[in-house]
Amino acid sequence: MAAGPQQLITEVDGQTLKLTNLGKVLYPKTGFTKAEVIDYYLQAAPLLLPHLSDRPLTRKRWPDGTGAAYFFEKNAPRGTPDWVRTVTLPTPGSSTGRDEADFVVADNVPTIVWLANLAALELHVPQWRIGLSDNGKNPHADLVVFDLDPGPPATVVDCCDVALALRELLGHHGLECWAKTSGNKGLHLYAPIEPARSRASSAFAKKIAEQLAEALPENVTATMTKALRPGKVFIDWSQNASAKTTLAPYSLRGADEPRVSTPIGWDEVAAATDPAELVFLPGDVLARIDEYGDILQGLYDAPKPLPS
């Protein structure tokens, strides 16, 4: 798709899609085009889908590329195809003043390609699934997430050290966890759990973050205050709240270059010495998939009870 027509009508898994402005450069500093974005998402879709399926999707769109303005979108846009799944869910505390929104749910490959054509570069989802909630009114999480954010001069390498300590602490509570890059400068850790109220999973995540910050006060902070972050890794536990979202695994980032939020093995976490080692572009990710398969395979297979 890298070179060819500006517009294409094609079929993806039985759905007809009109792809437009294929030559538009969406990452101006690298020349990465919309066609290349679509091609990446099409190839990564089988590994991306398990992390989007049955979750209300918030998109971050850059219609004129990452050098221009972007916007967040929860509501299904005008012209959404009738084969795209949408679900009306409450949006308490919404900045738009709306009580609910018609969320897109990406349950199939054509929906992912359609979103890529809309320049929805970033795909964000909550830690709960629609099927585990009372129509969104009583969300039950199936994941606990920790967002490790380094405060300069700390880097993602420092996040790796904290991730190893966090993994050990979670292990003491009977939980396994998986790691991925944030696609920016930090790491995300996921611990699968049996369905539990988001309020409870959020409280647990906060407790764990505070315990590690207490144990490693020189390296870790669990408070939001930015003045306390320089040189430390901030463990953001707040993304476990039912109204919050996290960038999905294998999603692109809307940055200067098309970085990908990439699953990494614990051997890679332990061995990291240079932040550049943990920067992955679409070609890198597809090559890793060919070599290693899905590093997050098994994430949802054996959830553990949320510790009390």
For 209, counting Cβ atoms within 10 Å of its Cβ (0-12 exposed, 13-18 middle, 19+ buried), the class is buried
- Which of helix, strand or coil describes residue 126? coil
The upper half-sphere exposure of residue 89, i.e. CA atoms within 13 Å in the direction of its Cβ, equals 31
pLDDT by residue for the chain (308 residues), tens only, comes to 444 679 999 999 999 999 999 999 999 999 999 999 999 999 999 999 999 999 999 999 999 999 999 999 999 999 999 999 999 999 876 666 678 999 999 999 999 999 999 999 999 999 999 998 776 678 999 999 999 999 999 999 999 999 999 999 999 999 999 999 999 999 999 999 999 999 999 999 999 999 999 999 999 999 988 877 899 999 999 999 999 999 999 999 999 999 999 999 999 999 999 999 999 999 999 999 999 999 999 999 999 999 98
**Other Cβ atoms closer than 10 A to 97:** 7
For 71, counting Cβ atoms within 10 Å of its Cβ (0-12 exposed, 13-18 middle, 19+ buried), the class is exposed
**C-alpha angle 46-56-25 in degrees, rounded to nearest 5:** 60
Q: Which two tokens stand for residue 125?
A: 């989802």
CA distance to 35, 76, 145, per residue, from 49 (Å): 20, 18, 18
Q: Which two tokens stand for residue 122?
A: 């970033």
Determine the pLDDT at residue 93: 61
- Which of helix, strand or coil describes residue 115? helix
Three-state secondary structure of 220-271: EECCCCHHHCCCCEEEECHHHCCCCCEECCCCECCCCCCCECCEECHHHHHH
- Which of helix, strand or coil describes residue 57? strand
DSSP 8-state assignment for residue 44: H
Which are the contacts of 95, defined by CB distance < 8 A and separation ≥ 6? none
Indicate the pTM of the whole model: 0.95
